[in-house]
Structure 1
Amino acid sequence: MTSIRPMPDRDRLPHALYRAEQVRNLERIAIKGYGIAGLELMNRAGAVAYRMLRARWPTARRLVVLAGVGNNGGDGFVVARLALADGLSVRVLQLGETERLRGEAAESCAAYRAAGGVPEAYRGLPRDADLIIDALLGTGLERTVEGIWAEAIQAVNDQRARVLALDLPSGLHADTGRALGVAVRATATVSFIGLKQGLFLGDGPDCRGEVHFSALDIPAAVYAREILSLRRIDWDQQGQLLGPRPRTAHKGDCGHVLIVGGAPGMSGAARLAGEAALRAGAGLVTVATHPDHAAWLNLNRPELMVSAVAGPKTLEPLIARADVVAIGPGLGRADWGRRLWQCAQGSAKPLVVDADALNLLAETPARGADWVLTPHPGEAARLLGVRVSEVEEDRPRAARELQRRFGGAVVLKGAGSLIQGDSQRPPAVCSDGNPGMATAGSGDVLTGVIAALRGQGLDAEDAACAGVCLHAAAGDRAALRGERGLLAGDIVSALRAVANGIGEDECRFD
């Protein structure tokens, strides 16, 4: 008899992300195709959550479970029952009438009662809770949270106890990551069966806290029935794209990157992009910049080659010698920048397009087969002719539309930067990075990193994925000294160690 191999629970999070409907389908397949009862899955979920909270908060003695009337509430009743059996103080505060509980959720509530528990109607949160379990709404939410549900979520966010969200923070849209009016800001989230993509999009990173995952011992074969909707990527994974260099390597093997930008008053952007390209491994970097400051742009970084460029005639020979062109940092939208953009756009070289080059592209849209576009939400909105709020409402949709209209690979920057390529692979979302990276010049650093990896032989989509993750991991390394006050130059300083897999205790920043 063939054994059924369960999907393992990894120490690290899986890279497959799913929409809510896909996870529900996986659950249906496990129940109908493999004979795993729905109540058994609920008991497994509650047990996983309880083990996790005991390991994470071993001194917590007073638990409050906020329970809704769906299966998410049923998971909460399992946690409450197990906590009671352990001798902890547990209160289950019910939102919605218990008479509305159906199926497995009703059975879990009955088991909690049989163990001596008594659900209470929600009338506010007690002040003495050590830990709050969010088991209110789960993954089925599609409309704005209102009334007592919104009041309860706001009360959770206003108090000081730790919060564990079951499957998904209540109020967060499972697919887009939008907070539907108000969403729980959890200390940790334990997700079941399949990781919901909304945990890594939009407001998800602000609401989820630490993310834990369990497949609930569902057979691995079940997952072959659903194509993941997004790939979660990080530097541990993407760094494998950069193998060791041959001992015979020379600078010409490692790519010649041309940075085009730095209008008067904005020379720092081009400088940051150029230095980031060097730190990410480019063999040669030339910065084509405005004559007003070309003579001193590399005073403290002599490894950068700098050329004064007055217009297309002086830019064309530089493009001819380069392997990849990154255009946009500090470019401006005056006549100088426009003419350089038109020159670069008309070349046959791979491009990385950022900042004002994206704004110029928005004015005269075109498709490119071999470029990487790196818009932030404001630039994405201009490219698509929509409001920024429309981009943020559904970031995967915006990234898909950008790629469809403009071709190449698209990096939609933000918390959980998205990469949409033209391959058959699902789009990717980076789970590295931190809020300290929301600082002037950070995007210019990313431009240089992606250009360097493109110049070292990665195709546009791989360079975008690896570049976003390297940039984010370097930002995380720099943030070890604090997020507030982090500078783009700090990210540049961390790039070399991160790209070479050198730990914080093995090196110091230059």
Structure 2
Amino acid sequence: MTKPVFSIQEAREADAYTINEVGIPSAVLMERAALAVANELQTNEAFDLSKTLVVAATGNNGGDGLAVARLLFVQGLDVTVLLLGNEAHATVETQRQLKICRHYRIPIVTTIADFAAFTTIVDGIFGVGLARPVEGAFAETIQAMNASPANIMAIDVPSGLQADTGEILGTAIQAATTVTMAARKLGFTAKSEPNTGHVIVADIGVYQPH
């Protein structure tokens, strides 16, 4: 049984234990995370998938986002990916997901002129381990996402939110819904609700060390 709340450290330890000791590959966990998010997007009436933007950076949270984009795209939905950061620095799993997206010819862009053109935005920028203030193009993108009339779904943790404290690190996503993996995070409190929105915990098969 997973405990109801994870700290950042506990989330990292549970991921590592699941991958290294239990033997569930990280690619499988990423697919299960993406399936949980895609399912919520498709069943939650708050999200209009007429024109969806997935905003992904180069860490594994971005890999989750890329997998979500593909799951929606193969069902015939209109999906665009906004890729932030230096692709050369992408994690192994995110590079894998980029390759898959390109195989399917999913539109991947590095700038967006008008965020208001989208009906739903998926936040796959920063994951659970963000430790410093969001600055520069990342901050500008988060602010533009928040200014859009589209509802935002955050993957695991709203980007810019410190997952242990709920503190906003410079600026943070204001999500309508957050699908968080394995357990709620310590920083998900009443104070952080304007950023997390409604929190859904997805069981993706992550196990805590015993």
Q: TM-score range by the shorter chain?
A: over 0.9
Q: Say if 1:17 and 1:105 are closer, same or farther in 2 by CA, change over 3 A.
A: same
Contact 1:65 1:92 in 2 (8 A): yes
Matched, 1:215 2:206: no
Residue 123 (structure 1) shift: 3.8
TM-score of the pair, normalised by structure 2: 0.94
Structure 1: give runs of 5+ residues left out of the alignment.
1-6, 8-13, 226-510
1:40 aligns with one of 28, 52, 60: 28
What amino acid does structure 2 have at the position aligned with 1:198? G
2:151 aligns with one of 162, 167, 182: 162
Q: Say if 1:54 and 1:213 are closer, same or farther in 2 by CA, change over 3 A.
A: same
1:193 aligns with one of 182, 186, 189: 182
Residue 127 (structure 1) shift: 2.2
Q: How does 1:361-376 map to 2 (within 5 A)?
A: none
What amino acid does structure 2 have at the position aligned with 1:223? Q
Contact 1:124 1:152 in 2 (8 A): no
Indicate the residue corresponding to 2:132 in structure 1.
Answer: 143
| 1:76-132 deviations in Å (ceiling 9; x for gaps) | 000000111010111100111222212111111111111121321034443221100
SS in 2 for 1:49: helix
| 1:276-301 deviations in Å (ceiling 9; x for gaps) | xxxxxxxxxxxxxxxxxxxxxxxxxx
Residue 224 (structure 1) shift: 5.4
Contact 2:122 2:155 in 1 (8 A): yes
Q: How does 1:185-334 map to 2 (within 5 A)?
A: 185-200=174-189, 202=191, 204-218=192-206, 222-223=207-208, 225=210
Q: How far apart are the structure 2 equivalents of 1:224 and 1:49? A: 25
Structure 2: give runs of 5+ residues left out of the alignment.
none
Contact 2:13 2:208 in 1 (8 A): no
Indicate the residue corresponding to 2:51 in structure 1.
Answer: 62
Contact 1:18 1:197 in 2 (8 A): yes
Q: How does 1:374-389 map to 2 (within 5 A)?
A: none
1:82 aligns with one of 61, 68, 71: 71
Q: Name whichever structure is richer in helix by fraction.
A: 1
Report percent identity of matched pairs.
33
Q: How far apart are the structure 2 equivalents of 1:37 and 1:118? A: 27
What amino acid does structure 2 have at the position aligned with 1:199? F
**How many equivalent pairs are there?**
209
Contact 1:157 1:184 in 2 (8 A): yes
Q: How far apart are the structure 2 equivalents of 1:224 and 1:80? A: 32
Q: How far apart are the structure 2 equivalents of 1:97 and 1:31? A: 26
Contact 2:18 2:208 in 1 (8 A): no
Indicate the residue corresponding to 2:172 in structure 1.
Answer: 183
What amino acid does structure 2 have at the position aligned with 1:18? F
SS in 2 for 1:198: coil
- Say which structure, 1 or 2, has more relative contact order (CA 8 Å, 6+ apart): 2
Q: How far apart are the structure 2 equivalents of 1:95 and 1:122? A: 8
| 1:385-417 deviations in Å (ceiling 9; x for gaps) | xxxxxxxxxxxxxxxxxxxxxxxxxxxxxxxxx
Indicate the residue corresponding to 1:49 in structure 2.
Answer: 37
Contact 1:68 1:95 in 2 (8 A): yes
Contact 2:14 2:209 in 1 (8 A): no
Contact 2:54 2:123 in 1 (8 A): yes
| 1:139-173 deviations in Å (ceiling 9; x for gaps) | 12111111011101111111111100000000000
What amino acid does structure 2 have at the position aligned with 1:52? E
SS in 1 for 2:116: coil
Moved over 4 A (4+): none
